[in-house]
Structure 1
Amino acid sequence: MSAVPSGVDVALYTRWRPEEVAAGISDTGVLQVLHDRGGAVYLHDRLHAKFFRTESAVLLGSANLTATALGWSFSPNIELLVESTRDRIVDVENCLSTQSTEATAEMAREVDEIAKLLPGVPTAPELLGPAPESAAIWVPHLRMPSDLYTAYSRGPNSLTSRSAPAAAVDLAALDLPMGLDRVEFQVLVGHRMRQQVLLQKLDRFLETPRRFGEVRDELARLTGCDREQAEDAWQTTMRWMLEFLPHRYLREVKRHSEIFSRRTGAMDQTNEV
């Protein structure tokens, strides 16, 4: 909204389902943001269309009005937005204008109260501008991966002030569904990790057993980190791989050297529930 010139009338059409507010998909806080600018929020419970319209331009596509959809988060979606014309959406706008209800502060409070009764998903701090290209490569942040389930089930603030932001970033990157028990959580995190760009590249690199320094240097090359950052990142990533993919990776200490490798025959192996 800070990019919208003053004097421009702004209207937001959305929906406030308590389960979506609890999960962070919707946010009643938009009401105050719009009211501060003299705008309004309108609610339609069946709304699923995504479009952005000014007096002269229309964008149609899959992107919601979120940082994840617009590429401003640590783990952005791949979306479509294409230019169109207002005549293509006039019927949708007419439908919304006749069937939607203007949101009020009382409605927002009611939805928020119900949302508190439902399980939610912790969200990570969002970037304030477009994410750098390197943000597409996620590196685990939480140094003790055994604490991740606590952050997932109780919220990141259940951890220390140092660990909470790191857990929030990791949970946002992993984008897990609500309500997993510990075993389901372990298996799904391991699967999510194997879909990440960095982990896929390290997995191939570890077909040959590697010393700590070799993997650190490879991680620095892949991420653009300096040596010290790469050392910290590899220590954390290694813990995650052993925590969530214990049947796939092996750590050994031989003659004071730390050797990390992929287990023989682990190419297609997954954790068993």
Structure 2
Amino acid sequence: MRRDGDLLLSHLAGAKQSALLCAPFIKSAVIKRVLSAIHPDVRVEIVTRWYAEEVAAGVSDLAVFDLAASRPGVTLRLLDNLHAKLYGADDLLLAGSANLTATALGWCENPNLELLVPVRADDEAVLRCRAALGAARLATIEERDSIQSAVDLLDQRPLPEAKTVDDLLAGPWLPKLAAPERLFAAYLPSARERLTYSAIEAADHDLKALAIEPHLSEAAFRTKVAERFSTMPAVRAILDAAQNDLSDAVAADLITTLVEASDMGPAVRWQIVREWLTYFLRDKYEIAPQSFVTRLRPGAGRD
């Protein structure tokens, strides 16, 4: 089943001139992923709301201000009574219930049940909504700092919407798909039917953690996976160990210190990591003949 987040990324990737991101709750890791799907030449208007209680509860991030300010052509506006969720790619619109959070878009465990559907740009309700958005004020650094000061005075427990893609990416992730050559097939909607259910489940776990944007060619996909894979915290520790000869036994022991125990066991998890190393990072890492240790290829430097 396709996640609402995947639908949204595909929708926004089609924008040629302008994009609209309108949601009361926006998490910084999610908006960063969403913006990466939009062509850098496309003008982006973000409309949201800031309440100290909501920021303190973790359902919105003030860091969205800095992300918007760092990308040319992005405008961030605030509307206090905003409740609508509307996403535009030129004249094509999606509306529904999903905020720009991992929980709403299906980029976490146990996501919300949400709805995003196409709506007509000339629909009367849509026209009223877009006219009301015209009253949104520009977000300023002064207002951001004022909200942050109010947040600092609050003791608010996080709400379910507070779960973010950052939770997934910062955690001790290791790949689950035992055959990394099948990851691209799982990435392509048209090719997924050729995979088993267990392969799709494992691949989706890995694609979600790596946050790969849609519509990449196979070559670009492999490059992006290699880049994201090699920067994941647990993988990074393994790569550091592989600077010297890394035996299977030592690698399995290392994995027990990096990630929580799972039903696969550290030896199996290491075998999967080793397959990923020699598939996506084959230009840098190899399994040495005779000794079968995993090591940095002679002459290959670390980034």
Both proteins in one fold, TM over 0.5: yes
Supply the AA of the counterpart residue of 2:187.
Answer: Y
1:141 maps to which residue?
176
Given the alignment, which residue of 255, 261, 271 partners 1:235? 271
Supply the AA of the counterpart residue of 1:258.
Answer: F
1:187 maps to which residue?
223
Query: Would you say 1:93 and 2:79 are equivalent positions?
Result: yes
Supply the AA of the counterpart residue of 2:301.
Answer: M
| Unaligned stretches of 5+ residues in structure 1 | 1-15, 29-44, 70-77, 82-90, 104-109, 113-121
- Is the contact made by 1:156 and 1:168 (CA closer than 8 Å) also made in structure 2? no
Given the alignment, which residue of 155, 163, 166 partners 2:202? 166
Query: Would you say 1:154 and 2:189 are equivalent positions?
Result: yes
Measure how far apart 1:248 and its partner are: 0.8
Measure how far apart 1:206 and its partner are: 0.9
2:297 maps to which residue?
263
- Is the contact made by 1:156 and 1:165 (CA closer than 8 Å) also made in structure 2? no
Measure how far apart 1:47 and its partner are: 3.7
Measure how far apart 1:142 and its partner are: 0.7
- Is the contact made by 1:123 and 1:172 (CA closer than 8 Å) also made in structure 2? no
SS class of match (2:292) = strand
Counterparts of 1:101 and 1:162, CA distance in 2 = 37
- Is the contact made by 2:173 and 2:232 (CA closer than 8 Å) also made in structure 1? yes
SS class of match (1:261) = strand
Q: TM-score, normalised by structure 2?
A: 0.51
Measure how far apart 1:245 and its partner are: 0.5
Q: 1:92 and 1:124, CA in 2 relative to 1: closer, same or farther beyond 3 A? A: closer
Query: Would you say 1:19 and 2:11 are equivalent positions?
Result: yes
1:10 maps to which residue?
none
CA-to-aligned-CA distance 1:138-172 (integer Å, 9 cap, x gap): 10011110000011122785321111111111111
Counterparts of 1:225 and 1:252, CA distance in 2 = 28
| Unaligned stretches of 5+ residues in structure 2 | 1-7, 15-20, 24-43, 66-76, 87-92, 96-104, 112-159
2:109 maps to which residue?
126
- Is the contact made by 2:180 and 2:276 (CA closer than 8 Å) also made in structure 1? yes
Given the alignment, which residue of 209, 219, 227 partners 2:245? 209
Q: 1:149 and 1:212, CA in 2 relative to 1: closer, same or farther beyond 3 A? A: same
Q: 1:224 and 1:169, CA in 2 relative to 1: closer, same or farther beyond 3 A? A: closer
RMSD between aligned residues: 4.6
CA-to-aligned-CA distance 1:74-123 (integer Å, 9 cap, x gap): xxxx9689xxxxxxxxx9436x66xx9798xxxxxx848xxxxxxxxx96
1:48 maps to which residue?
47
Counterparts of 1:46 and 1:204, CA distance in 2 = 42
Supply the AA of the counterpart residue of 1:147.
Answer: R
1:175 maps to which residue?
211
Q: TM-score, normalised by structure 1?
A: 0.56
Counterparts of 1:198 and 1:111, CA distance in 2 = 37
Measure how far apart 1:202 and its partner are: 0.8
Counterparts of 1:18 and 1:247, CA distance in 2 = 31
Matched-pair identity in %? 17
Supply the AA of the counterpart residue of 1:189.
Answer: V
- Is the contact made by 1:156 and 1:167 (CA closer than 8 Å) also made in structure 2? no
